[in-house]
Amino acid sequence: LAKTTQPISMDSYEGQEVNITCSHNNIATNDYITWYQQFPSQGPRFIIQGYKTKVTNEVASLFIPADRKSSTLSLPRVSLSDTAVYYCLVGPGFQKLVFGTGTRLLVSP
């Protein structure tokens, strides 16, 4: 399974756009890129998943360049409630998920 690298932490303010980049140089042809969000004392929650180009849902956008060796999760106009740990996962999308240490996002007023 491809290894991922993402920043340990990020700080932002309410109303700003936050972009979290994840590197996955060894991504395989059948791998998808998935992002999960985890609040303290809760289980992770699926945010978005993509294979290439751009995916957008009501919560976030996911940008994947043509070489797929990295991806960027974009959170528009963050609020205090977006303070959480964000995990970038790369894999075939089913069976076991491989979590790294994630990115701790702190949103301040």
Partner 1 sequence: NAGVMQNPRHLVRRRGQEARLRCSPMKGHSHVYWYRQLPEEGLKFMVYLQKENIIDESGMPKERFSAEFPKEGPSILRIQQVVRGDSAAYFCASSPPDRGVEEQFFGPGTRLTVL
| Interface contacts to partner 1, rule CB under 8 A | 32, 34, 41-46, 49, 87, 92-102
Nearer to partner 1, 7 or 15 (CB): 7
Q: Which residue has the tokens 């797929």?
A: 68
With beta carbons less than 8 A apart as the criterion, state whether 27 and 69 touch: yes
Q: Three-state DSSP class for 5? A: strand
Q: Which residue has the tokens 């996955």?
A: 24
Report residue 68 as tokens: 């797929």
CB of 93 to partner 1, least distance (A): 3
CB of 81 to partner 1, least distance (A): 18
CB of 16 to partner 1, least distance (A): 26
Q: Give the angle subtended at the CA of 37 by the CAs of 104 and 31, to the nearest 5°.
A: 105
Nearer to partner 1, 9 or 108 (CB): 9
Nearer to partner 1, 75 or 86 (CB): 86
Nearer to partner 1, 16 or 55 (CB): 55
Give the count of beta carbons closer than 10 Å to the beta carbon of residue 11.
Answer: 12
